[in-house]
Amino acid sequence: MKGFHKIHRLVFKTGACIGVLLLAACGPGGGSGGGGGDPIIAAWSAGFTGTEDAALATSIANTAEFRSANFNSAGRVAVDPHPFLLTKVHRALSTGVSGEGQVVAVVDDGFLTTHEEFSGKIIHEYGVVTPHLGSNHGTHVASIATGNYGTGDIMGVAPNADLHLSSFARNNMGGLAAATNDAAAKGAVVQNNSWGFDVVIGDAQAQMSGGKTAAEAMAAEVGDSSANWQSYINALNNFQNGGVIVFASSNNNLGDVDVSAGLPLLATELQEAWISVVEAKFSVDSDHNIISASLISTPCGQAAQFCLVGDGDTKGASDNANNAYETGWGTSYTAPQIAGGVALVAQAFPSLSPGEWRDRLLATANNNFFAGSESGSTNFGGGITHAYSNIFGHGVMDVAAALQPIGDAVVVRGSNLETGTRTRLGDATISTSGTYGDGLTRMLQEQEMAVFDALNGNFEIRADYFVAENQNRYRSASLDQLQDKGQAKTSLSFGESSDSVESVLYFGAQDGLAQLQTDLGLSSNLASNVSMLSFAETATAISQNYKTEFGHYGFYGFSGQHSENVNGSLSGAGALAQFDLGNSSLRVGLNQMVESGAFLGMVGNEAFNTPTLTSAQSVNLSFNSSLSNGFEVFGGAEMGRAVGQTNGDGFVTNFDDANFSGFHVGVAKSNLVQKGDRVTLSLAQPIRADSGNVTMNLPVGRDKDGNIIYDQVTGDLSPSGREIDFAASYFMELDAFSDLQFDVMYALDAGHIAGQRSYGIGASFKRDLN
């Protein structure tokens, strides 16, 4: 049996420093906390927002503790690359993450738990973790992963994370299995291993080709019993249920990954959430963009598809004193940077699985510096692929990119992310007619909704992002007159004509059954959207009137395309009774309408399913009276109730009864300035939803199995204001062939939004050239 030894994955700067006791002299000794921490702490306390703060990122990068974590050892390039700038730690921290609430497990040796970099942390210890046989390695490693901000010379990648510590030097493989299980039980989200065996993976693979299991092969190559090795492999596999394994590769170039960092190649069940780490020295430009890299450890080799590279040139905490520091380089100090990055990603995405945390870091790693010399590409699903190199793996960790949406952000409807229907954000909308004003927006503006990226990371967005408010628009009476809107209708009398019966068919009528609305007294040239009938366009209507002693009564029907949904329609029937009182008339009507593809003009697209059918009933009352001296007064009002139906798997599940109303009143004077002219004044309220609720099941997150979590939201659709339009127009005939018209409108609570104002002005000149 071959002898074995466990080795640290580091190289200390030696120079004039010889022996363990003298290593503290390689650093500046005791240190103090960096300044300017309050804005950073405030941001971290706010938690993950998903949005980078460029100014805060710069502030973090300029703190003394951030800068001091860098060390430029002999032989490195002239432009000193800061390892935290390479991995975009400052940008990640600017989003509000800090490792808060996360436990980082560190398997190492030589921990000084009272060091100022660990002050205030919860530290779980498995067994004895104090320095053993002169080792102080673990203190440095743990400080790079989780060193505090504000209590020392340096800071770690995840400064607010807690620790679980165990010693590889004091345990055999069975003991490490127990330590790993204890870390899992304590909720560790990552286990850092800056130790291992200097045996190339091919030697163990040769053992397995002869029929040995992975545990037997490891026992044969590096010692200990196969039973202990199997316990250790089982413990690592169990750990991956809740955390990622990070393993430093050998600092010696073995030509391939070693057996420790490459263990998943032997025990394939460990490939779920494992990252192997190698080291390189980098040449960068002034913005820390990588120009080139030179490997200074063993390559990723066969582990390339789950491997990252970094810069381990760091300054970290030493166990010589509670305020002592040291410098060093090696994969030992590259690996804890990755482990800290995992803690940040885990805090940001607590509902993702460890494998998904790992994939986010691999899929967003910076691989630009080896473009053109890729060894292959990994398909992470969701249309995301990422090239890797057998030397550098997937590249340098970019933890900031791992926190941002990867690929397109989408809304997903269904029970599970794997089987759900995905819709791009821009295609998922729910648009409201002017009926609702800001009602739906107000209902949803405090509601957070989950959207998902290509790797199923969940991000929060305000639900009112998806609301498109279509407010009431001013339509110039002058332009209507110019275009003959509401006037150039085609009609046809049919059936038996008599003095008491009139039957008329209107076809090709536009702009919301304008002719029928005029007949019902529900519109004027200054108020055309006070009735639900205004939702119909390109419509056909039929009416039949019966004359009586008091006036007439009649029935009508209509069908038209919906103005808010090209695939929808509005159809219905009604009855009207008109009472003639000298120069005045009073009309009372009843309507039964069916709205297809909308709910009082509300239309959903894709994830926000469109109402399939709306049944509405309304009663309307209108009048007009001709007074002396060319004066005329007129008006009309409609009140109604609508009930909507939905089906399908969209977010909208129910529409409660909605009450709506609209009215207009006006006065006109003919022959005011000259014969044939007309002045009209109008006061109107466009159709408004006075009450009504909608219920939605909105996605608010996911669990670790990818099941989508929904929250039922019910809210009032009534808007905050009530639009009142003041309008005036003046019409005059210039000659037998020409006319001129002016109009003006001013709206209070425009769009039914409290406090909003709007106005419009129109003018037209028309001349008949025939």
Give the model confidence (pLDDT) of 444-498 as tens digits: 998 999 999 999 999 999 999 999 887 555 554 444 544 443 334 444 444 444 5
- In this prediction, residues 400-426 reach a mean pLDDT of 93
- In this prediction, residues 696-717 reach a mean pLDDT of 94
b/e map of 62-77 (b: 16 or more CB within 10 Å)?
A: ebebbbbbbbbbeebe
Residue 521 is predicted with a pLDDT of 79
% of the chain exceeding 70 in pLDDT: 88
Residue 34 is predicted with a pLDDT of 31
Domain segments of the chain as ranges: 7-403, 469-490+502-767
Residue 426 is predicted with a pLDDT of 85
Alpha-carbon Rg for the chain, nearest whole angstrom, is: 38
- Answer whether residue 180 shows pLDDT above 80: yes
Residue 606 is predicted with a pLDDT of 82
Tell me what percent of the chain is helix, strand and coil, each rounded to the nearest 5.
Answer: 25, 35, 40
> The tokens of 17 are what?
């420093």
d(Cα 652, Cα 431) in Å, to the nearest integer? 13
Residue 511 is predicted with a pLDDT of 44
d(Cα 91, Cα 85) in Å, to the nearest integer? 9
Residue 510 is predicted with a pLDDT of 42
Residue 763 is predicted with a pLDDT of 85
- Answer whether residue 283 shows pLDDT above 60: yes
**Backbone dihedral region for residue 50 (phi beyond 0: left; psi -120 to 50: alpha; all else: beta):** left
% of the chain exceeding 90 in pLDDT: 66
Q: Which residue in the block uniquely carries the two structure tokens 């019910």?
A: 714
Q: Which residue in the block uniquely carries the two structure tokens 């609508």?
A: 642
Catalytic residues: 108, 137, 332
> Please, are residues 151 and 114 in contact by the beta-carbon 8 Å criterion?
no
SS3 415: coil
Confidence of residue 37 (pLDDT cuts 50, 70, 90): very low
Phi first, then psi, for residue 168 (nearest 5°) are -75, -25
How does the average pLDDT of the chain come out, rounded?
Answer: 86
CB-CB neighbours of 376 under 10 Å: 10
- Answer whether residue 196 shows pLDDT above 50: yes
Amino acid at position 668, single letter: A
Confidence of residue 385 (pLDDT cuts 50, 70, 90): very high
b/e map of 714-730 (b: 16 or more CB within 10 Å)?
A: ebebbbbbbbbbebbbb
Query: Using one digit for the tens of pLDDT, what is the confidence trace for 53-74?
Result: 999 999 999 999 999 999 876 5
> Please, are residues 220 and 210 in contact by the beta-carbon 8 Å criterion?
no
The CA-atom distances, in angstroms, between 549 and each of 103, 500, 520, 559, 737 are 89, 10, 19, 31, 40
Query: Using one digit for the tens of pLDDT, what is the confidence trace for 199-242?
Result: 999 999 999 999 999 999 999 999 999 999 999 999 999 999 99
Query: Using one digit for the tens of pLDDT, what is the confidence trace for 306-329?
Result: 999 999 999 999 989 999 999 999
DSSP string, 32-43: ---S--HHHHHH
> Please, are residues 522 and 530 in contact by the beta-carbon 8 Å criterion?
yes
Query: Using one digit for the tens of pLDDT, what is the confidence trace for 638-661?
Result: 999 999 888 778 899 888 899 999
> Please, are residues 137 and 169 in contact by the beta-carbon 8 Å criterion?
no
Fold annotation for 7-403: Rossmann fold (3.40.50)
Candidate from 161-170, 244-253, 546-555 with smallest mean pLDDT: 546-555
CATH number of 469-490+502-767: 2.40.160
Confidence of residue 550 (pLDDT cuts 50, 70, 90): confident
Residue 132 is predicted with a pLDDT of 65
The CA-atom distances, in angstroms, between 534 and each of 513, 528, 693, 694 are 7, 7, 22, 23
Residue 462 burial by Cβ neighbours in a 10 Å radius (0-12, 13-18, 19+):
middle
Number of residues written out for the chain = 770
- Answer whether residue 345 shows pLDDT above 70: yes
Parallel, antiparallel, or unpaired for β 430-432 and 421-424? Answer: unpaired
Residue with more model confidence, 707 or 736: 707
